[in-house]
Chain A
Amino acid sequence: MAFCTGCSLLCDDIEAEFEGGKVKRTMNLCRKGRAHYDSLSIDRLTPAVGGSEVRGEEAVTAAGELLAGAECPLLLGFGRSTLEAQKLGIELAKKLGSVIDDPTSRQGLIMERILKGEVPTCTFDDVRNYADVSIYWGDDPSSSHPRHLSRFSYFPRGEKRQRGYEEDREAIVIDVRRSPTATIAADGFFQVSPGGDAAFAEALLAALGGKIPKVEDKKRMLNLATKLRKAKFGAIFTGPGLADAQDGDLGWFFSLVARLNEFTRFSVIPSLPDYNTRGLHQSLFDVAGAVSPVSFEDGIASGPKFGVTGLLESFDAVLVVGSDPVANLPAPLARKLARIPMVAVGTHRNLTTDAASVTVPTAMAGLEAGGSALRSDGVRVDLEAQVKSDRPTDLQIVEMLMEVV
């Protein structure tokens, strides 16, 4: 049995056979997980300085020089690094007096409240054993975390959920489009207009309070409210659709969660993108009391203005670890980023490594290297290597950088 690091569910029942560095046969890996495994032998990053291939050690030395010579470096990514590499990465940020940010992970605001204990949460195993209502808000795990519904949130039997999904569980999907998850929820799908999430929550709050909601289909909203009021154990899964719904103002969501908790326990688990995004949030929270971006320039400070969205021009070096911000950031920011001398550490070639001055290849965690990680719900898992690799781990690279800066 092995783990899959293809998403933040970190499935632990994987059987895989390898032959000559390639995957031969897998059991229980989903389509996305299988592609992750297959990527072992596709588009792997090679060490390079200034576009010319070099030996691995030379690339690390060049990376160290670039960072050590910078006045104001920016560290990006780390969602696809082990907890050990993340923790040392934060130490590196401290040592460099730099900023650490993960700009394409959108659920930091929710995670921060969860880590502060202000929003109730639980484990996926609790969901499987006890939840009778699962709400997916701006979240389509069928596409992004394919085994979410079958392993935990809708289909499996659990301690108090012995009768299967038809009788024992409800799936509610709130989304702007009929996603694959919404298709499964069928009658439980509530469509909102883009940015209409807060208005939906307001109508639901009214209905929960026995008032007539200001929506077209009042009866349907009142029925939903009744269902939620009668729930024994509720789980709310949030996705990028919720995080981005109201330009980062999520007060309406936290109010709704608090209100629901007056009836019964409703726990929130964000569907985080990378296999160890939760680990990064936890590691940053442990050090700074906040999640990304965190600045170590002058003591410890956090907030959106310190990261990529702030004064990108003020950074004179960038270290990207296991991420592709050049491909995912708005083009004007990507162009600014690409002009800054950049070191890209990662497993695969991408638009960021193409734009980097120095590239440093690393091993794929859970496949070629071990280490630990936190599942989306905070449960810690220990990964082991399944195949041999000459490539160093993220942790080894950060250790070498710590020595030279």
Chain B
Amino acid sequence: MAETEELLVVTYRGIFQEVEEALGIYSDSYREESAVLFLDGSDALGRKIEAGRPILLETSSGKVVVAAKISEEPHPGIAFMPRSPWSASLLPAEVGEGGLLQLKRFRARASPAGEAVTTIEEIGERIRVF
């Protein structure tokens, strides 16, 4: 079943996210620039994910809710996400053969979420408390 297949999430940096990061990571605008996932149209359709709606992303490292966006160009099986505390919540902690962490990409399950987009305060709390 296509909709249960994991997506390969690749992270990147965008200028407006970096701008909002400098202007304060606890702001709504930083969250709006960071807590997003760009999906391929067919991947979104197969998972009943709608543009602008919250989606739950899960890996063995953790889970977060971000806002779904649909890319103009097709990239089936791959999703793009700004590198941020949200993407770091999902990164694997195991090192590769070269002894380095893979901080650029990971596999994640994506599905429509019933809850709101995770806030940075929640991410911070999860790290400090659990």
Contacts and interface: CB of A to CB of B under 8 A. Distances in A.
Interface in B80-121: 80, 83-85, 88-93, 95-105, 120
A164 interface: no
B22 A32 contact: yes
Contact of B13 (A42, A143, A330): A143
A32 B88 contact: no
Contacts of A305: 99
B99 A330 contact: no
Contacts of B22: 6, 32, 35-36, 38-39, 42
Nearest to B80: A177
Given A43-B24, A176-B10, A330-B91, A309 B99 contact: yes
B123 interface: yes
B99 A143 contact: no
Interface string A202-218: 00000000000000000
B23 interface: yes
B124 interface: yes
Contacts of A1: none
Given A103-B101, A309-B95, A328-B88, A194 B78 contact: yes
Contacts of B99: 248, 303-305, 309
A176 B95 CA distance: 22
B51 interface: no
Given A179-B12, A351-B127, A247 B96 contact: yes
A39 B102 CA distance: 30
A111 to B, nearest CB: 14
Interface string A295-329: 00000000111001100000000000000001111
Interface stretch (A58-66, A81-89, A331-339, A378-386): A331-339
Interface residues of B, number: 48
A106 B91 CA distance: 15
A323 to B, nearest CB: 13
Contact of A331 (B13, B78, B90, B98): B90
A165 to B, nearest CB: 21
Nearest to A38: B23
Contacts, number: 145
Contacts of A103: 101
Given A35-B22, A43-B25, A304-B99, A143 B14 contact: yes
25 contacts: A6-B22, A32-B19, A39-B22, A42-B22, A104-B103, A143-B15, A144-B13, A177-B10, A240-B13, A241-B12, A244-B103, A244-B104, A248-B97, A304-B99, A304-B100, A309-B95, A327-B84, A329-B88, A330-B101, A331-B127, A332-B62, A333-B93, A334-B127, A338-B128, A355-B124
10 interchain residue pairs of minimum CB distance: A248-B98, A247-B96, A244-B104, A304-B99, A330-B91, A248-B100, A35-B22, A332-B93, A35-B19, A330-B93
Interface of A: 6, 31-32, 35-36, 38-39, 42-43, 103-104, 106, 140, 142-144, 146, 176-180, 194-195, 240-241, 244-249, 303-305, 308-309, 326-335, 338, 349-351, 354-355
Interface of B: 8, 10, 12-16, 18-20, 22-26, 61-62, 73, 75, 78, 80, 83-85, 88-93, 95-105, 120, 123-124, 126-128, 130
Given A38-B23, A331-B61, 6 more contacts: A194-B8, A244-B102, A304-B98, A329-B88, A330-B93, A332-B93
